[in-house]
Chain A
């Protein structure tokens, strides 16, 4: 009681006002007044007012036979226990009594609430009630107590383990009541996740049998729990996998979409061990339920669509006949529409592209800008994916460009650039594109058009005029566009040297003297040097044949995809990111140091999502483009190109394949010198000034120096670069600058961390 008095003193009650009235009500001699006051107190709490000062008075009402009132007092306790930890002890008695009440509802209420009062004093008294309620005769109480073990573990793991509650829970997996089983599994799986060293939930063939039994009887949520656990189980042999799939497959018919997704996850995981024929039978069986998910509430649909996207990346054919299902409804929310587009492009094949294309044309005339752009992009993706569709797609794009809607025009140009990279034969469209040159205000679209002009300079009569216009405003352009202008002008010069020398000099001058972006400067120097040497060599490098691209549909790296497939239905599978990249700090009992390290990385990942996405983009880009482009051509230079790819951090360079196409250009024959040029690129950033100075010095001497000598100089720098690689963090920080030799490895490591 002394504690009570102290608190009383601290909160000297005001004589009037709401709190005063409530207090008066709470201590009233009439039961109905007290109850009313409690309700009002809870109301005030709901409205966000701080009524913690009433704690002692509310507490007086805890011993009541009125169930509603009891619930309210308990609710109040849960909310404000933290503010009056000392006083909570006064409630302990009631809790302990209630946990032995003849009414199971009250026993469950008591144990549920005790677990939610996160105060040390309360925890000390939980042991006995929890032990009793875990063995309660009522399944309702047992299922509540099972969850309470997880609550206790969260607060005091030692106490939980010492009292053998984990063992009790493990026994409860065999409980005759399915809901008790489900909650026990849930509690154990949470404990196992937070503290794997407890080995709280280790399935054996015996427990597996119990889970499969309970699966058919428990509530929808219980089924999700059990199925999630089954998905994580490693089967002993093929027979067991077979058995699990057989027992789980009927759940595809459940009305609750999360049960269906959980069942898909289990079957998808366990069928890997089965014969190919059985696998395809299961995949076939999975398709209709997946399609039905598209009829659920939009938010759930979104989760389903993101998951279907993953499944399609692993098994592109499962829904090939279901294209129509993914047609957008006019009233679908935008996030659903965009996701449906992604999936339709993935499903597209040479049988259904006609249907798809006429839909996409329809979408491209909608009003939502993001959706329209995505639809235009999809048309390009279909063209590149399916050769037979390309002509129709190009025609569709030309129709769209004639609408003259600004953002449509820009997107179409970007898309056509990619189509030309696969089918150079469609050059006939170029004059049409050039008509819109003045309407482009986005760096991507400008870059795309300039690339096209450079690439087809010999076929465009006024290419020099067009590029001249861009050179005029060179310094005002975005980096990305500047790089394209540079490359395009050099290409133009090599193709039509007669009257373009002035232009090329002007642009090189601007790029080196008036510009302080090392990316642009260095590229300009490379060109400069190449042009000052043998022009045939320069031609063979800059105008070399570039291999055609194969796809512009982005796919996740296989390792990540594999991981995400095991996370179906979770947030990770929705974000398409590994859980480590967005989950906050957890409790890792195993290895303190590792934990600290992981946490730090997580922190970094959370703080710097750009770096993470850059790394991801770099990896994706590397796979899609760089490897294709450079590795094939460079026998000896392959590692250099890979490093180059990994190191350069601007996602744009990877996202925009044009840039890659516009790189110095790969020679058809491997030349040792080229590898060394890449070596130059790889000079470490801490000394870019030095590197640039050395590079600047070269052209001056270039007249006297042979090409080979030049290369040697670079080779020397390369070695010195090797000796002093900067720390990886700095590498990413210096993303736009030439990356050091180790950067490839460095970014790989970084990727590993995510």
Chain B
């Protein structure tokens, strides 16, 4: 429960506020920037909620804004913080981007939305598709006055009735992103696959959908013999349209989809995966005046697949200059704004291996000397540190890529059954698979 919601600029000035309960003096917000900077002085770790004089401040940051909720009670913190994120989501759909300007330009509709999304401090409707049906930027005359869509309060609160398409089509995208943490000596410290099935649904009426995957647990519970590979998903999360109790009972994924684009489900696999694009790096420091990077990248997937738009981002010291590169494929450029060199390879075939060498000059005498040479760099900000001590962390090498027609986990859509009892139209599901780099971090080795 939130007593009031504020939109503040980064200085803590209120841009817009909505007082839902009137049980907290609105002036309490003036303390927020003060409290925040006091807390920041004390420690670098300022939590997203704190309490002061009986008032609790819960906030998130988005672009150049703070979204702040105040409450007096022992509120459900997860709920309120998520609600703030939901506001960002809905407002972004409405105004393209949520920032200072868009708040100023759209205050009328923002008040309307805030009223609809929260009542007396309790979150209500936050489904932006449904909100867009009755809260619009055009004004209404009496004759065509908007009415609350039935969906607002319906059990199927995400889909309106009476949707019509000439061609009934469904697009399924199975997108897996790979998160990896690799130590400097090449050990995979942590690997996880975050998968998502995204849908674009252009179906008429109230269609009932049933999705079949090669889910190991389902095969086991139904006693079906598996043909081919089955996968074991660690934790599955569903869009609210999916009937959770049915999934719990017999692992059937059945639902009435929202109209248009949405994320049907997400899943996680903790299985050990080898890095699809393996990066090895040697850093050589020449008496503190020059630093050299030698990179080897290898594609560790089948020859018939290709990774597109590969980017390998290697952090370098802040004040490096005069970059020189040599590579047998792709292009390399120095991005001083990110303090990194970026190696781009448009197409990276399976099984291939490429090399790159980069050399940069260092103007100043570096901190590692005073820490007894080759000190692993945290403090002096040398080897890959962001620079100024106390700011930023030791940055890893990042790898980005996309591999179409391929999933790391081997997940497969076995079927998607679509039935609309009244209209009984034929419909076509389309399925695409893609693997992406998620958060791939290879820790930079110490300079030798």
Contact = CB atoms under 8 A, between A and B. Distances in A.
Contact of A251 (B16, B244, B391): B244
Given A291-B234, A335-B47, A367-B379, A255 B239 contact: yes
B75 A570 contact: yes
Interface residues of B, number: 108
A367 B148 contact: no
Nearest to B88: A297
Interface string A573-606: 1110001001111100000000000000010001
Contact of A67 (B59, B85, B140, B235): B140
A337 B75 contact: no
B423 interface: no
Contacts, number: 296
A147 B234 contact: no
B235 A365 contact: no
A368 B390 contact: yes
A743 B14 CA distance: 48
Interface string B104-118: 000110011001000
A359 B142 CA distance: 65
Contacts of B79: 221, 224, 258, 262, 569
Nearest to A288: B235
A256 B82 CA distance: 8
A365 B140 contact: no
Interface string A124-157: 0000000000000011100110011011001000
A68 B110 CA distance: 12
Given A292-B268, A359-B189, A368 B393 contact: yes
B386 A367 contact: yes
A299 B81 CA distance: 7
A719 interface: no
A211 B286 CA distance: 70
Given A254-B240, A299-B81, A324 B190 contact: yes
B194 A295 contact: yes
Interface in B242-290: 243-245, 247-248, 263, 266, 268, 270
A105 B268 contact: no
Contacts of A65: 141-142, 145
B44 A371 contact: yes
In the complex, which of the residues A67, A295, A571 has the most CB atoms of chain B within 10 Å of its own CB atom?
Answer: A571
Contacts of B190: 324-325, 327
Interface in B133-149: 134, 139-142, 145-148
B229 interface: no
B45 A334 contact: yes
Given A138-B148, A295-B268, A177 B153 contact: yes
Contacts of A367: 378-379, 381, 385-386, 389-394
B186 interface: no
A186 B127 CA distance: 20
B48 interface: yes
Nearest to B47: A335
A404 B370 CA distance: 9
Given A104-B147, A334-B45, A570 B76 contact: yes
Contacts of A359: 189
Contacts of B317: none
B377 interface: yes
Interface stretch (A38-46, A682-690, A722-730): A38-46
Contacts of A147: 119-120, 122
A583 B190 CA distance: 40
B416 interface: no
Contact of A48 (B14, B234, B239): B14
Interface string A36-56: 000100110010100000000
B111 A112 contact: no
A111 B409 CA distance: 53
Interface in A548-575: 567, 569-575
A403 B371 contact: yes
Contacts of B443: 362
B54 interface: yes
B148 A327 contact: no
Given A254-B238, A359-B189, A583-B72, A370 B45 contact: yes
A65 B145 CA distance: 9
Contact of A370 (B21, B44, B243, B245): B44
Interface in B4-49: 14-16, 19-23, 43-49
Nearest to A194: B73
Interface in B367-395: 371-372, 375-379, 381, 385-386, 389-395
A330 B392 CA distance: 9
A300 B123 contact: no
Contacts of A150: 120
B78 A304 contact: yes
A209 to B, nearest CB: 15
Contacts of B390: 367-369
Interface string A622-642: 000000000000000000000
Contact of B108 (A72, A118, A291): A72
Given A140-B148, A250-B244, A250-B245, A366 B378 contact: yes
A298 B48 contact: yes
A216 B243 contact: yes
A208 interface: no
Contacts of A337: 45
Nearest to A402: B372
B213 interface: no
A258 B78 contact: yes
A358 B16 contact: no
Contact of B148 (A108, A115, A295, A570): A108
A103 interface: yes
Nearest to A225: B122
B236 interface: yes
A78 B181 CA distance: 53
B394 A71 contact: no
Interface in A455-502: none
Nearest to B249: A250
A676 B23 CA distance: 55
Given A42-B108, A291-B234, A369-B390, A253 B147 contact: no
Contacts of A79: 19
A650 B168 CA distance: 72
A148 B245 CA distance: 32
Given A254-B244, A330-B441, A403-B379, A300 B78 contact: yes
B230 interface: no
A365 B376 contact: yes
Contacts of B247: 250, 253
B257 to A, nearest CB: 14
Interface in B43-81: 43-49, 51, 53-56, 58-60, 71-79, 81
Which 4 A/B pairs are nearest by Cβ-Cβ distance?
A: A584-B54, A288-B235, A365-B378, A579-B74
Interface of A: 39, 42-43, 46, 48, 65-69, 71-72, 75, 78-79, 103-106, 108, 112, 115-116, 118, 138-140, 143-144, 147-148, 150-151, 154, 177-180, 183, 186, 190, 216-221, 224-225, 228, 247, 249-258, 261-262, 288-289, 291-292, 295, 297-300, 302-304, 324-325, 327, 329-331, 333-335, 337-338, 355, 358-359, 362, 364-372, 402-405, 567, 569-575, 579, 582-586, 602, 606
13 contacts: A39-B108, A42-B108, A68-B108, A71-B112, A251-B244, A257-B78, A291-B268, A299-B58, A365-B376, A371-B44, A404-B371, A569-B76, A569-B79
Given A251-B244, A289-B235, 17 more contacts: A68-B139, A72-B108, A116-B20, A144-B119, A217-B155, A221-B79, A247-B245, A302-B47, A325-B270, A334-B46, A335-B48, A367-B385, A367-B386, A371-B45, A571-B56, A571-B58, A571-B71
